[in-house]
Structure 1
């Protein structure tokens, strides 16, 4: 039983979808997705299946990205020897199965290039680190079933339902990857729990961001304008553009076209994954112009050089100004209410200003314009309103 066969390292890396034999019952299985794993087919001496025929069984030896061709041949040889002696490899093989935490870390690393941003990727692994690793992190990934998954989900299912829902999705992903690498078999326990409705139904509570009434915004803006701190300037800009906090804080100078009076937020920073053009008014340009002198990479620089403001900076400013529990994100709602109640703006214009997607997939496919010029007029009216303290207090 020499450790040689038909496959080579180059073939293992480049063969297309299908089952490719190396000889001696060893196969490289390439899925349509490109995932590659090893299996070995053996016939256990003296043992019969349910139909009375010789017991012929396939065993996973691991993914080709972690198990080399030589290692696969070595393990296949071990399985054949056991089968020849009448020992079922399923119960007698010493297979090196990684732990749940090891597979999770590998998935995290492999998917780093696909994360929307570094923060998202860190949140992905942090959820597992906090709620899954303490309970199942050290367990071999092939020994995790419904009871183990429930140990992670049940304690937070009702109190932190959104977190639990995301946790279940991430556990499912890890177990799916483990199966694709040959370390697991059978149905994913997360899917089984969901299909059987083992966990109670939880009615999602709509999350509202406390918004300042739009009539009060001009008076607040006037108070804000008297402050010189960068956080105040960032909040003023956020209010006038009806933008999200992260979009403003991570704003960089190349995104601003002063001549075209336009700020273009890159797709990777947008919640919808699509670049968003924001028209700039005289007032927003007045806020930006003095900041160029700082020559920072970020428009609204934080305490560290070439680093953005903290994502808590504007919220803390609101608290210092006794803004009655209002949130930064809530000013988007203030703008939306003003657009509907005071400006009588068409729905599609107001929603486009907020970078919201409106209509069905078909409708969005035909609506190729971002309505920039119409939005520019609306944002100019909003700026005029915000700066008019007298009108805002009526």
Structure 2
């Protein structure tokens, strides 16, 4: 038998391009066009013939190169060749060292880190598996996970936490698909089979509504906020004027603001759409944030720690302290949308774009090059004027049927 050495090196294993690269003695590194790398060994089983009567020459997968090192691949290849020389078919006699479901999942998480929308999204991906899959199937060899094991993870939360269960199913499917691509399992993905067989009950999705304040009540609420000095109050005032999401506002840095152009550009990594979003700044918005420059912080709305933003719960907790019941921070987006429709009579695409919603089909968006910035600026100016108006004017507006 040959010694445990060959043509390949660890550096070559990491950098070789697509193709089949021989190490010698039947061991090959196969690099797919996608960049995926796996080991195979080709052996001739002594005394056994194929259907054509020729010596039985067979390729066996030894696992992915990201899991099985070069030396481990050589060890396994040597074991396969020894069995073949003795007339034993490795397919039925090899001791396979298959990684666990958790090991493969952790590797998938690491491999996909550069593709996550943000760090939080990547952590949520692995946390779902950690909480609901690893306790039940984490230690199982990944090739042993079938429909019963997947159902064992999904069934307890399928109706009570349906959205979480759907995300869990998709993430288990991804791990098993990756395992199959690395030669660690075969056959149909059990998650796909469960779905096609209807093995889990149908769950009617319940629409999730964020509690919204009536647009008629916003000016009085805003006037109350303006008497408070807390940073959370400043952030909530700005949020209610812009119609932005909590994470977009709290993550805002001074570098994102163009005071000359009266524009705030929220970067793609904080946007739900994954695209930059331009927000026109009105006088009322600038009056809130300009005094905060004196703090010389990286963030516009600095929290308790220096150069760190407010916590995600700060504005909601302020609402609770103000005893504003049944209203969420996110709900101010709905409030703005109602006002834009009922009072401003704004075109749908302008109102939706003001909230950073995608409008139209993919084809329509491909041809729509404009984000309607100037029309949105005019709409946001009217909204700011309404929010900051006196209570008496609001009552008159409401009594007149909501038009002005």
Q: Which range is displaced more, 155-164 or 5-14?
A: 5-14
- SS of the equivalent of 2:275 reads coil
Distance 2:7 2:222 in 1: 75
For 1:213-292, list aligned pairs within 5 A: 213-292=214-293
- Give the Å deviation of 1:282: 0.7
- Give the Å deviation of 1:223: 1.3
- Give the Å deviation of 1:356: 0.7
Q: Which range is displaced more, 339-348 or 190-199?
A: 190-199
Q: Which range is displaced more, 167-176 or 263-272?
A: 167-176
Aligned equivalent of 2:402: none
Contact 1:319 1:325 in 2 (8 A): no
Q: Deviations over 1:247-281 (max 9, x none)?
A: 00111111111121111101111110111110111
Q: Deviations over 1:102-134 (max 9, x none)?
A: 222222222222211111111111111100111
- Give the Å deviation of 1:299: 0.8
Aligned equivalent of 2:392: 390
- SS of the equivalent of 1:326 reads coil
Distance 2:20 2:200 in 1: 39
Contact 2:2 2:25 in 1 (8 A): no
Distance 2:202 2:54 in 1: 47
TM-aligned CA distance change 1:299 to 1:33, over 3 Å: same
Aligned equivalent of 1:338: 339
- SS of the equivalent of 2:40 reads strand
Q: Kindly tell me the number of residue pairs found equivalent between the two proteins.
A: 394
For 1:123-162, list aligned pairs within 5 A: 123-162=124-163
Contact 1:37 1:180 in 2 (8 A): no
Distance 1:57 1:203 in 2: 50
- SS of the equivalent of 1:377 reads helix
- Give the Å deviation of 1:42: 3.3
Name stretches of at least 5 consecutive residues in structure 2 with no aligned partner.
399-404
Contact 1:385 1:391 in 2 (8 A): no
Q: Which range is displaced more, 44-53 or 242-251?
A: 44-53
For 1:1-394, list aligned pairs within 5 A: 1-3=1-3, 4-5=5-6, 7=8, 9=10, 11-45=12-46, 57-388=58-389, 389-393=391-395, 394=398
TM-score by length of 1: 0.94
- SS of the equivalent of 1:319 reads helix
Please provide the CA RMSD for this pair.
2.1
TM-aligned CA distance change 1:287 to 1:375, over 3 Å: same
Distance 1:379 1:151 in 2: 51
Contact 1:232 1:317 in 2 (8 A): yes
- Give the Å deviation of 1:56: 5.0
Name stretches of at least 5 consecutive residues in structure 1 with no aligned partner.
none
Distance 1:213 1:74 in 2: 71
Distance 1:135 1:21 in 2: 40
TM-aligned CA distance change 1:8 to 1:229, over 3 Å: closer
- SS of the equivalent of 2:274 reads coil
Q: Which range is displaced more, 213-222 or 13-22?
A: 13-22
- Give the Å deviation of 1:392: 2.8
- Give the Å deviation of 1:227: 1.1
- SS of the equivalent of 2:109 reads helix
- Give the Å deviation of 1:51: 9.1
- SS of the equivalent of 2:237 reads helix
Distance 1:331 1:239 in 2: 6
- SS of the equivalent of 1:59 reads strand
Distance 1:230 1:362 in 2: 42
TM-aligned CA distance change 1:218 to 1:21, over 3 Å: same
